[in-house]
């Protein structure tokens, strides 16, 4: 396989994962109370704790997307 295949692969991985991150953020921003009520039925958790958990999950996902998708894609673009 040549570098172009890897570049295309990481480009699409980045687009898909950033899209998922944006959708998750928009859902949490616009329907946060509904999401809390849905999960509150299954797990006894305070609203403040729920917000901390959601924020932590989104932060971890964003970090992983940058580390494993964006950085390799940028490196492959720089290489050639």
pLDDT tens string, the chain, 80 residues long: the values are: 799 999 999 999 999 999 999 999 999 999 989 999 999 899 999 999 999 999 999 999 999 999 999 999 999 999 98
pLDDT reported for residue 55: 95
Task: Say how far apart CA 66 and CA 37 lie, in whole Å.
Answer: 31
pLDDT reported for residue 80: 82
pTM: 0.86
CB pairs under 8 A, 24+ apart, for 53-59? 54/28, 58/21, 58/24, 58/25, 58/28
Q: What are phi and psi of 20, to 5 degrees?
A: -65, -40
Q: How far is the CA of 60 from the CAs of 38, 64, 67, 68, in angstroms?
A: 22, 6, 10, 12
């Amino acid at each position: 396989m040549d570098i172009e295949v890897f570049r295309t692969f990481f480009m699409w991985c980045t687009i898909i994962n950033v899209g998922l991150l944006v959708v998750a953020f928009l859902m949490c921003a616009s329907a946060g109370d509904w999401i809390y009520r849905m999960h509150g039925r299954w797990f006894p958790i305070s609203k403040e704790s729920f917000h901390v958990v959601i924020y932590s999950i989104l932060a971890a996902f964003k970090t992983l997307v940058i580390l494993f998708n964006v950085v390799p894609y940028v490196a492959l673009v720089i290489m050639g």
